[in-house]
Amino acid sequence: MLGRSTCLLGIDGHNPIIRISLQKEPEMTIEFNVEGMSCQHCVSAVTHAIRERDAAARVQVDLAAGKVTVESAAPVQTLKDAIDDAGYTVVAVANQ
């Protein structure tokens, strides 16, 4: 009688993949309309203020349009407060 060869990986070939999901807040893109930004100093002040709250945030400032676009997992209110605390006025917020 011939023995059946055994495979260490399993006869049926099932290879279960276990996915571990990291509980991470989803990143959002938020647009702030900000009053009071007038030069590159303002741009870096706003950018720094936001990065102080979320070091991983991506910040884009359109000086001419008075628009700050932030990609961040931080709460919108936290980001708004950061801009306010830096001395600028958030006049509108839009979540994308």
Question: Tokens in use for 9?
Answer: 């990986």
Please report whether residue 38 would count as binding Cu ion according to CB under 5 A.
yes
User: Which of residues 9, 39, 55, 64 is near Cu ion by CB under 5 A?
Assistant: 39
Q: Are 72 and 56 in contact (CB under 8 A)?
A: yes
CB-facing half-sphere around the CA of 89: CA atoms within 13 A: 3
Please report whether residue 17 would count as binding Cu ion according to CB under 5 A.
no
Q: Please say which residue, 48 or 73, places its beta carbon nearer to Cu ion.
A: 48
Site size with Cu ion, rule: CB under 5 A? 4
In whole angstroms, how close is the CB of 45 to Cu ion at the nearest point? 7
Please report whether residue 64 would count as binding Cu ion according to CB under 5 A.
no
Q: Which residues bind Cu ion (CB under 5 A)?
A: 38-39, 41-42
